[in-house]
Each structure stands twice: as structure tokens, then as C-alpha cells.
Structure 1
Amino acid sequence: MSSTAAAPEHQTVHTSVSARASRVRWFIAIACAVGLAINYIDRSAISVALPFMTEDFALSPAQQGLILSAFSWSYALMQIPAGRLIDRFGERLMFGASVLVWSLFTGLTAVASSFGVLMGLRLGLGVGEAGAYPSSAKTVSRWFPPRERARATSVYDSGARIGSAIATPVIATIIAVWGWRAVFVIAFVFGVLWTAGWWALYRHPEALRRVNDAELAVINEDRAVPTGAKEKPMALRQLLRYRTVWAMMLGFFCVNFMVTFFLTWFPSYLVNERGFDLLKLGIFGSIPPIAAIVGSWIGGLTGDYLLARGWSVTRVRKTCLVTGMLLCAVISLAAVAPEAWQALALMSVSYAAAAFTIVTIWCLPSDVAPTGTVASLGGTQNFFSNIGSALSPIVIGALYGATGSFQAPLVLAGGVAVAGALIFGLMLRRVEPLVKTPVTA
């Protein structure tokens, strides 16, 4: 892809193409997916490596919990600033900058020498990664019409699931061959390469010669303001007036509390609770993340299919959200599963349901906010959701340390998922533009 040197040339290209729409928008969604795959490999790397890093650092369970949690605290705190910056400076600049910053902190983890340094690097990783999902949501809102956004969201979100799935076997292999420090060096290199590609190739739809008039017409379907127009984002205090926004934040808090188990304590659960060695961890530990990839795809297909069948946006989104959250709750049953394969099966269903739900959650900012506010709203909901991510490893670590078992943490995670289903079912009344439904009305 290359940008157009002059507006007249771009116009000539558009008028010379056939009526069949080009499909550049799907390559853009795939580029976002690759960025999020790197995102999740980098944030998951320490989770897979941590059982083996403790030999060098002599970390207690409480210290491990703090290290796993540190990322989420800075990640959550930077969500709102990241969203505002993305809406102001654009997803091209800010997505690339985000990947570059987190890749730097990932690479520096290879030379960490103490618990304090690890904590600082994890905090830095969270700052960098804060822009990834809001940038992807902004990109999809700019490139896709409402009828395609669930599928487009599932494409980029599946990148995160793919990253989670390949992280365990790939990182376990690297550790076995070169040691845990090599993991972070390799992750750094891939992040820098993606950043260079994104900055070189990404532009807005109207600035790419490969986007023909027919595709631009698709992109601008049902859009009050053309994709190239500049819009002033809504203020944070204005967003927080809406019941819809609070439902988005609280519901996302619940799903992130549950799903963060898979990104933090899951490898330790398999090693310590189920007796897996490094080989088994690498093979079987990737099953739930693979199931999550499928869950993400199903979420996108289901949402767009139901819209095409004539369901209202409210009915589609609420059905997917409540159903997904209730299925997430089966993680509690893994606590009493007598066999490891049974626990893995239940966790696979739970993780797939979480991915199914998250696709719908990330459709909501585009559903209810103007284009100029999508990243700000995405960052706002992601801020609150990642408080759940930050609390999850600490609470789970404390319960595990107190009981010596993962049974209580798994039951708690399932209970939080049920609470999320209630929030989406009862608190999220309608999915419609925010200007129509202020809380104070």
C-alpha cells in the first residue's frame, strides 16, 4: 500500500476502477491483528517464563502476583490518556508509537536483575500497550461500516488470541533452547519490525490508491460524517453521564477479571496444580488459547449474521454479551474436575466464551460513539476493565497462597463472570448513539 501523492491522481484512480469494491479494509484489520498478536505474546511472555525465572530471582508467590499485576495497573491508568491521544493524533502515529514503546520495555526485561527492576519494566510495558486496543477500535470504526464491524473486530481480536495460543509453546521452546532471557530479545525485534511496517504502509481510506470508489462507498455506509472528516472527541465527564458507558465499563471489568487468569496464573496452575512439566505445558497449555481464537471468530460471525437477519443492534449485542458471560462461568467447574483433561476442556470453553464476548464489547464504542470519540470511549471502558485485570492476579495469588490450591480462585472467577452477565443483561438497556440516552435525562 502506498499513499497518494496528489488528490487529482487519487481521484483518477478511483474513477477508473470497476464497480466491484476493493478489499483493502480487510488487510488493515489483519495488520491490526498482527499487532495485537505481538501485544499478547509480549504481555504473556513473563507469565510463561515466570516459573523458570524464580530460580534466578527467588520470588515468593506474593511477589509473583505483584509482578503479574504491575502491567495491568499502568495499562489501566494509561487507557484514557491513550484514547484521547489516538483521537487527537490518529491511529497511524499512536499505534506505531505504542508498539515501539512496549517492545523497548519487553527487550529490557532480558537484562533485568532484581524484583524491583522487573516491577518497573512491567509498569513500562503497560504504558506502551495501552494504545493497542483503542487504536484497533478506532481503525475499524474508520475502515468498516456497521454491518461488518463485528467480523472486523473478531479479526483483530483473534490476533490477541493467536498471540496467547502461540505464546506458551513458542516461549517454552525458546526457554528450553536458549533460556528465558532470549524470549524478550526476540519479542523486541518483532515489535520493531511491525512498527516500521505500520508507519510505512498505513493511511486513511481516502489516501490509499488501492481503495477504489466502490470500497469507499462501503466504508461510508450509514455514516453521518465521512471517514476523512475531523471530529472533536466528547469530554470524559460527558461520557460518564451515560448509563451505557457505566455498563460497558463494569461488564468489561468482570470479563477481564476472569480472562486475566489465563494470561497470568494459568501456566503456574498447570505446573503446580496439575503437575505438568515443560513439555506438557508447551503442548497442552495452548489448547484454551486456541479455543479462544475460534470463540473470537464465532463472535464476529454471529454478530454480523444476526444483524443481517434483521435483529436490532441492541438485541444482537445483549444476546451475545449475556450468553458469552454465562458460558465464561464454567471455569468454576474446573476447580472440581478430577482429571486434568476435564479441567482443560472446561477452561477452553470458558476462554472461548470470553473471546466471543470481548468481540461484542469492542463493537460497542463504534456502535454508540461518534468516530471522533471511538478511541476515547474505547480507552475509557478499557481503563475500568483493566482494574479487573490488575486485581485478578493479586486476588488469585493471595487465595492460592492462603489455601495452597487454585479451587477458590477458579470459583471466584466464575462468580465474577455471572455478575458480568447480570450487568450486561440489566444495566445495558439499549445500544444506540450516546446523545440520545444521558443518565441525567
Structure 2
Amino acid sequence: MAADSSRYRPFRAWSIAVMLALMMLVNFLDKVVLGLVSVPMMRELHLSPTQFGLIGGSLNWLFSISAVLVGVAANRTSTKWLLLAMAAAWAALQLPMLAATSIWSIIACRVLLGAGEGPASPVAVHALYKWFPDEKRNLPVAVLHQGSALGLLVAGLSIPAITAHWGWRANFLILSVLGGLWCVAWLVLGAEGQLARAERAGSGSRIPYALLLTDRTVLGIFVGHFAANWILAMTLTWIPTWLQLGMGYESHMAGRMFALFVAITAPLSLGLAGLSQRLLSAGMPSRLSRGCFVSVTLIVAGLMIASLASPWFTPMEKFALLTLGSGMTLVMYSVGPAMLGEVTPDSQRGGMLALSNGFSSLAGLAAPIVTGMLIDGAGGSTARGFEQACLTCGVVLLGCGVLCVFCLDPQRSARRITHESCRRDVHHMRADQG
């Protein structure tokens, strides 16, 4: 029976992949809802752009801490029950929003929600790895991320309609119900995979975290992930507001424009990830096919995003530049973990993914607040302030992209880490014998 449970079972594995993709759909609905109800929420509660930016960034206050703690714990704890506990917390934390009237009560809800959502992505990827062998893991992880994109698409089409019919608070009740339904389905259909456990039985020794965290490629991945998360947090929080107050669209059209934004960025990021994989399969070293590839996408995206501050472009041209630039940065979320997997042992991958997510959440904390402050600094002009925020974002992307060019070389890092680890093992062996 044990041997049978450790075999790859495609149907069961893919059923888990679909369930986890649906979980990420709910996860991103929870993330983006605030941006899509920003205008009526700010008007009812008399919030300034800086205050709203503070609320938007508060999701990340405990995000990194919980991501690291739970991500590392996932190496030794059942991912089925961890995921169930997290999703149940998301559902419960939507309910106080039905009555919240002060900025601090809303911030408290978002901080706790962020603590519950911080570990979602690394734990979900870790759970998938327990069902799929190494050579079959790329596609299910891509499906997982498409659940996130689908959540944004559904949000853009549904949340403005719900707000128009029942008010902005009704969205939080519906999200609570959706989260509860997923928990019931996961309780019945979810299970713990055994494949990764069987593979780890014969895997190599662990690498000291100090060695991993001082490696140039690992640090480059952290920096690239930080840059990608800066623009993701800025757009999820502020694009709907910019479309309405900056570009003059009414709420339904702004929702459709946001859905169009997602409909373009998601396949663009998939296509770029596929191109990187084809270059690698054709024999190009990962320093070029992965490292330089994502570095160039960050640099080009930075130039595109920064150009929004120019008066030469029409509003629709600015929307196109923002959409294409955002889509290019998303490739970091698929290629970055792949590079991390090249230099990290399987038994430590969950912890390293969590550390990368945790570091990038610092950008998620800062970007919405910086954007709100720039809008306030522009005299409350959402259009001018958001364009200044795009210039700031472009500088972040450019700087991080240039750093990544010099840092990302997974094959060199793998050789270095293996050599240093063997040298330490030999040193300790000689010390023990002495």
C-alpha cells in the first residue's frame, strides 16, 4: 500500500492541482477586492489617497513573517491541513468588513488577512510537488498561477456589478461564502501527496541556509521578485482608482478595463515563460535562458512603465504601456522559482520559496503607500500622482533588472554551493576524526 501511494497518479494529482488553482482564485479575489471598491469606499469613509494606500499596503505587514514561518513549517507539517486553516481564516476575516467604519478596524482586518495569505503560494507549490515528479512540475505550477489570473479576471467583471447592485460591502460577504465553499470541498477532496516524500528519502544532504542566502543567484532572485511584486501591488491596489478618477471611466467600464488588463498580462507572462523554457531546452545555459531573460524583461518593463510620466502619450497608449510592462514582469514568478530550484535542495525548497515571497512582500507593503502619498502630493490629482508613481516603479524595475544581470547565474551558483558544502563536510569529518 505504501509503495502504491508513492506512485505518480495523474488523475488524482491533477484534481489536486485544480483545487489549488481554485484556492488561488479565491486568494486573489481577496487581494484585489479593495482596489475595485476603492472609489465608493474612500467616499463613504472619507479616506485620503495616503490613507487608502496605507490600507492597501497593510495586507503585507505580516505577510513576510507568516510566509517564512509557515513556509518552513510546511516541510514538516501536512499541507492539507495548513491550506485548510489558511483558507478558513480568509473566509472568516471577510466578515468584519461588513461593519467596519474606521481606518484602523479595516487595517486590522487586512493585516490579519495578509498573515493568512502570506504562505499561500509557497505552501501550494510545495503541496503540488508532493503529487508530481520533478519532470512534470512546470505545467501544474503554471496552472496554479492561472488560478490567480482567473481570480483577477473574475474580480474585474463581477465586483463592479455587485457594488452597483448591493453596495461595496456586499463583495466581502460573497468572498466569505466562496472561501467557505472551497474549505468544504478541500476537506472532502483534498489529500496529502506522498511522491515528494518518497523522492526525498534518497536525496542529498541539506545545505546551510547561510550559504544559500549569501549566494549571488539567490539574492538576485530575491531582488527580481521584489521588483515584480512592487508593480503587482501598485497595479492591484491603484489601477481601478486610476481608471475611474484618473482616466474618467465609470465603475463598470473600469472593471472591464481591469479585466482586459488581466486578459493580456496573464497570457503574455505565460508566453514569455514558455519562450524561456524553449531556450533552455535548446541548450542555452540557464544564465542566459533564465537569468538574462528575466533581467531584460525587468529592464524593458521599467522603461515602459517609467514612460507613463511622459506627456507625449495618450491615455489609451499609457494603459497599453502599463499593461504590457506589467505582463512582462510577471514572468519572474515562474522563472524565478525555477532558478531557485536549480540551486536549492528539494528538502529546503519550501523554505527558500517562502523566504523569497517574504522579502518581496516588503515591496507590496511600500508600493501602495508610496503611490497614495504621490497622489496626495500632486494635489489629489489621481492622474498626475499615479504617473509619478509609475516613474518611481520604473526606476525600481530598472535598478533591480540591472542588478539581476550581474547576479543571476544558476549553474555557477549550483557548482559553488555544491563545492562549498562538500568542503564543509570534509572539514567536519576531519574534525570528528581528529
Equivalent of 1:331, from 299, 305, 308?
Answer: 305
Match of 1:390 in 2: 365
In the alignment, is the contact (CA less than 8 A) between 2:243 and 2:249 conserved in 1? Answer: yes
Query: What is the CA distance between 1:298 and its match in structure 2?
Result: 1.5
Query: What is the CA distance between 1:367 and its match in structure 2?
Result: 2.9
Change (3 A) 1:237 1:111: farther
Match of 1:61 in 2: 49
Which deviates further from its counterpart, 144-153 or 82-91? 144-153
In the alignment, is the contact (CA less than 8 A) between 1:69 and 1:389 conserved in 2? Answer: yes
Match of 1:420 in 2: 400
- Normalised to the residue count of structure 2, the TM-score between the two structures is 0.86
Paired AA for residue 425 in structure 1? V
Match of 1:71 in 2: 59
Q: Distance in 2 between matches of 1:346 and 1:435?
A: 40
Mapping for residues 320-359 of structure 1, pairs under 5 Å = 320-329=293-302, 330-336=304-310, 338-359=313-334
Paired AA for residue 152 in structure 2? S
Q: Secondary structure at the match of 1:89?
A: coil
1:42 and 2:22 matched: no
1:261 and 2:234 matched: yes
Q: Distance in 2 between matches of 1:64 and 1:338?
A: 28
Q: Distance in 2 between matches of 1:107 and 1:344?
A: 34
Q: Distance in 1 between matches of 2:191 and 2:374?
A: 48
1:429 and 2:422 matched: no
Change (3 A) 1:147 1:338: same
1:290 and 2:263 matched: yes
Equivalent of 1:168, from 156, 166, 171?
Answer: 156
Query: What is the CA distance between 1:238 and its match in structure 2?
Result: 5.0
Equivalent of 1:126, from 114, 121, 139?
Answer: 114
Q: Distance in 1 between matches of 2:211 and 2:14?
A: 33
Paired AA for residue 35 in structure 2? S
Q: Distance in 2 between matches of 1:173 and 1:136?
A: 30
In the alignment, is the contact (CA less than 8 A) between 2:339 and 2:410 conserved in 1? Answer: no
Query: What is the CA distance between 1:143 and its match in structure 2?
Result: 3.4
Mapping for residues 218-233 of structure 1, pairs under 5 Å = 226=199
Mapping for residues 195-344 of structure 1, pairs under 5 Å = 195-206=183-194, 226=199, 236-237=209-210, 239-329=212-302, 330-336=304-310, 338-344=313-319
String of CA shifts for 1:75-134, please: whole Å, max 9, x gaps.
123221121121121322212222221222123222212111001001011001011111
When the two chains are superposed, the root-mean-square deviation of aligned CA atoms in Å is 2.9
In the alignment, is the contact (CA less than 8 A) between 1:154 and 1:300 conserved in 2? Answer: no
Q: Secondary structure at the match of 1:39?
A: helix
String of CA shifts for 1:145-176, please: whole Å, max 9, x gaps.
44444333222112212212221221111101
Q: Distance in 2 between matches of 1:415 and 1:146?
A: 37
String of CA shifts for 1:218-266, please: whole Å, max 9, x gaps.
xx8xx9x715779997665454233332222122111111221111111
Paired AA for residue 261 in structure 2? P
Paired AA for residue 165 in structure 1? L
Alignment: residue pair count: 414
In the alignment, is the contact (CA less than 8 A) between 2:212 and 2:344 conserved in 1? Answer: no
Paired AA for residue 381 in structure 1? S
Q: Which runs of 5+ in 2 are unaligned?
A: 425-434
Q: Distance in 2 between matches of 1:88 and 1:311?
A: 36
Q: Distance in 1 between matches of 2:419 and 2:233?
A: 32
Q: Distance in 1 between matches of 2:279 and 2:9?
A: 23
Match of 2:432 in 1: none
Query: What is the CA distance between 1:341 and its match in structure 2?
Result: 1.8
Q: Which runs of 5+ in 1 are unaligned?
A: 1-5, 15-19, 207-215
In the alignment, is the contact (CA less than 8 A) between 2:292 and 2:408 conserved in 1? Answer: no
Match of 1:411 in 2: 391
In the alignment, is the contact (CA less than 8 A) between 2:36 and 2:255 conserved in 1? Answer: no
- Normalised to the residue count of structure 1, the TM-score between the two structures is 0.85
In the alignment, is the contact (CA less than 8 A) between 1:258 and 1:416 conserved in 2? Answer: no
